[in-house]
Structure 1
C-alpha cells in the first residue's frame, strides 16, 4: 500500500532517530516546537530541513499515521514510546525517497520564521497592485489579518509613485525572481497568487489536477518560497520593491526569544549562575539556551565550558558507541562530563563537520 508523503516523512524521522528518541520527539519536530531539545535534535539527527514543516498536525492524526505504519510492519514498538524502522520499512523508505526526494531547498525553520510572513505579504501586495493597475481600488483582500493589511497599505503609500510604475516594476521584479526557481516551483508560486480577475488555487485543487499528494506540493511550495527569500537576500539591490517586503523579517541570529536574552547577557560577561539569578530561571534552562546559541552562532566560544581536547574525547566516544544518547555517552566516559558539556561537544562536532 503506497505511503502518503507525510507518512513517508514520519518513517524517515524514525529512521534518523535510530530509536534514541521517543515518538513525541518526531511530533515536536514536525510541529516545530521551539524548545532547545527539539532544536538540538533536529540538528544532531540531520532533520533541520523538516523542522516545523507540518505545524497544523494534530496529535490524534499523528498517532493515527504512526499506528498505520505499525500495522504495515514498517515500524515496530520496541519499548514504551520508542519505535524503530523495520527492514521492510527501510526498503519501502528507500523506494519512497528515490521516487520523491525532499525538495532541495526545504528548510522548515526558515519558512516558519521568515518565509511564511514574507509570502503572506508578497501575495497580498501582488493582489493589491494588480487591482490598482486596473483602477479597482475596492476588492476583497485574500486575508483579513489587520497587521498584513496595514503593512501592505503603508508600504504602497510610502512609494509615492504612480500605480502604473509600481505595477511595471513589480512585474519585472517578479519575473526576475521566478527565474531563480525550477519550472515546477515557479508554476506553483504563480498558481498560488491571486490578482485582478484571478484567484489563487489551493493545494488540494492543484493536487487533484496533477494527481499529486497535496502535502508534497506544500513542501515544494515552501522550498520555492525559501529560494525566493535567499535570492532576495543575496541580490537585494536587484529587487528594491520585493526586498522591502522582507527586510524587517531578517534576523541576525535564528534564536528563540528567551535564548536571545541569555545571549545578550553572555555578551555582557555574565556567567551561567549570574544569568539564572538575573532572569529568575533555573540553571538547566540557561544551559539549554547556551546549547541553542552554540548550535546557531558560528562565533560562539566553547572553551569556557568544554575544551577542544574534551570535545575530541567525547566525539570519539560517540563514534565508538554509534549513539547520541547522552546517558550512554556519559556512563561510557565514567561521568567525567556533565550532560551540558556533552551536549555542547555535540554542537561543536556538528559545526566542525
Structure 2
C-alpha cells in the first residue's frame, strides 16, 4: 500500500509538459535551489515535486521509475520520462481518491508551510497551558531562537494572554468547521495542550490508515488551506506573516540578503562587492527570486535593446536555444537569456 501510494503520487506529479531525466527528478525532490534545478521544475511543471516531502534514495528512484514504466504509466525516451495516456487516466483516478492534492501550491510558501505547522502547534500549547495556569510543561519547540520569536509574536498581539487564548481557540474552531470531520480530527489529534500530548506522525498514520508520506502531504496542504482562511483569522494571518518573514519569504538566506540590496537600488556589481560574492552568485540569487518568489523587478538588469531583441526572437521561435540567441545578439549573457526564457514559459511575452 505504501509503495502504491508513492507510485501514484509520482505519476500524479507529471503533466503533459513534463519530460525529465531521473537525475533531474532527484534534484527537484531534494529541493535543490540551483537556478538550473529551479528552472527545470518550472519548465516541466514539477513545482509540486520541489514542494513535496518525497524522500527517496537514488536506488529507490530507479526502482520507482522502472515500476511506473512497467505499469505503462510513464514512458522513457532518450533517458527522459513522460506520462502516457494510461498514466494520465491513473492520475485522474488518483485525484478523485485524494482531492486534497488537486490544489495549487506556491513555491515561495514551501519553507513557510513546514515551519508554520510547528509554530501553530507551539502557540496552541502555550495558550492552552496558560489557560490552566501551568508553567511547568515541556515546550513543543526546544530551539531557543524560535521560542523567543514566538514569545515576541505573542507579546505583539496587544492582548492579555487569557483573551488571546479565547481568540486563538475561536479562530481554530472556525477553520476546523470548514473541513470534513476526518480532516478536522486529523489536525486535532496532533495538537498539544494541557494534559494532552497529541499523536505522533506514526500514530496519526495508523489511526487514519495513511502512509507516512500521506500524513506529511496532508499536513502541508492543510497548512496551505489554513493560509487561505486569513480574511476571518487575524491571529492566524499575523502568525503566518511572521513565519513567512522568518523564512525569508521562501528564499535562501544568502539570496534574501542579495535581493534586499538589489531591491533598495543597488546594482549587481555593487551588491557582489558589498557581500564579497562573485557577480554570478548574485545573478543566481536573482534567478532564485524570480523562480521561487516570482520577483518581477529584474528588467532593469537587462539592457533594453537586448531585452527587446530576445523578446522578438522568442516570439518567433519559442524553443529558441541560448546558442541560437548568441548568433543573433553579440556578447549575450546567459543570465539575460534565462530571464526572458522564463517569461516565455510563463506566457508573459
Quickly name the TM-score band, shorter chain normalised: 0.7 to 0.9
Distance 2:2 2:213 in 1: 15
Q: In the alignment, what sits opposite 2:126?
A: 128
Contact kept in structure 2, 1:53 and 1:108, CA below 8 Å? no
Distance 2:85 2:51 in 1: 28
Are residue 140 (structure 1) and residue 138 (structure 2) matched? yes
| Superposed displacement of residue 314, structure 1 | 0.9
Given candidates 230, 255, 259, the residue that maps to 1:259 is 255
Contact kept in structure 1, 2:191 and 2:197, CA below 8 Å? yes
Are residue 30 (structure 1) and residue 29 (structure 2) matched? yes
Distance 1:276 1:159 in 2: 38
Distance 2:215 2:118 in 1: 18
**SS of residue in 2 equivalent to 1:83:** strand
Distance 2:87 2:156 in 1: 56
Note closer, same or farther for the CA distance 1:202–1:17 as it changes in structure 2 (3 Å cut).
farther
Distance 1:248 1:31 in 2: 26
TM-score by length of structure 1 reads: 0.76
Q: In the alignment, what sits opposite 2:229?
A: 231
Contact kept in structure 2, 1:36 and 1:292, CA below 8 Å? yes
What runs of 5+ residues in structure 2 fail to find an aligned partner? none
Q: In the alignment, what sits opposite 2:284?
A: 288
Q: In the alignment, what sits opposite 1:324?
A: none
1:1-353 equivalent positions in 2, closer than 5 A: 4-13=4-13, 15=15, 18-19=18-19, 21-54=20-53, 56-79=55-78, 82-101=80-99, 103-105=101-103, 107=105, 109-153=107-151, 164-179=162-177, 181=179, 184-232=182-230, 234=231, 238-240=233-235, 242-251=236-245, 254-267=250-263, 272=268, 276=272, 279=275, 281-295=277-291, 296-301=294-299, 304=303, 306-308=306-308, 310-318=310-318, 321=319, 329-331=321-323, 335-336=327-328, 338=332, 339-349=334-344, 350=346, 352=348
| Superposed displacement of residue 48, structure 1 | 2.7
Contact kept in structure 2, 1:180 and 1:228, CA below 8 Å? no
**SS of residue in 2 equivalent to 1:245:** helix
Note closer, same or farther for the CA distance 1:71–1:171 as it changes in structure 2 (3 Å cut).
same
Distance 1:311 1:132 in 2: 59
**SS of residue in 2 equivalent to 1:4:** helix
**SS of residue in 2 equivalent to 1:246:** helix
**SS of residue in 1 equivalent to 2:214:** helix
| Superposed displacement of residue 276, structure 1 | 5.0
What do the CA deviations read for 1:317-345 (whole angstroms, capped 9, x no partner)? 22xx5xxxxxx634555732544333212
Contact kept in structure 2, 1:30 and 1:52, CA below 8 Å? yes
What is the RMSD of the two structures over their aligned residues, measured on CA atoms? 3.7
Contact kept in structure 2, 1:51 and 1:108, CA below 8 Å? no
**SS of residue in 1 equivalent to 2:168:** helix
The alignment covers a number of residue pairs equal to 339
Contact kept in structure 1, 2:16 and 2:83, CA below 8 Å? no
Distance 1:75 1:263 in 2: 39
| Superposed displacement of residue 125, structure 1 | 1.8
Judge which range, 219-228 or 173-182, deviates more.
173-182
Contact kept in structure 2, 1:185 and 1:221, CA below 8 Å? no
Distance 2:91 2:303 in 1: 43
Contact kept in structure 2, 1:105 and 1:226, CA below 8 Å? no
Contact kept in structure 1, 2:29 and 2:49, CA below 8 Å? yes
Distance 1:181 1:351 in 2: 35
What do the CA deviations read for 1:139-168 (whole angstroms, capped 9, x no partner)? 333343333444445555777966643432
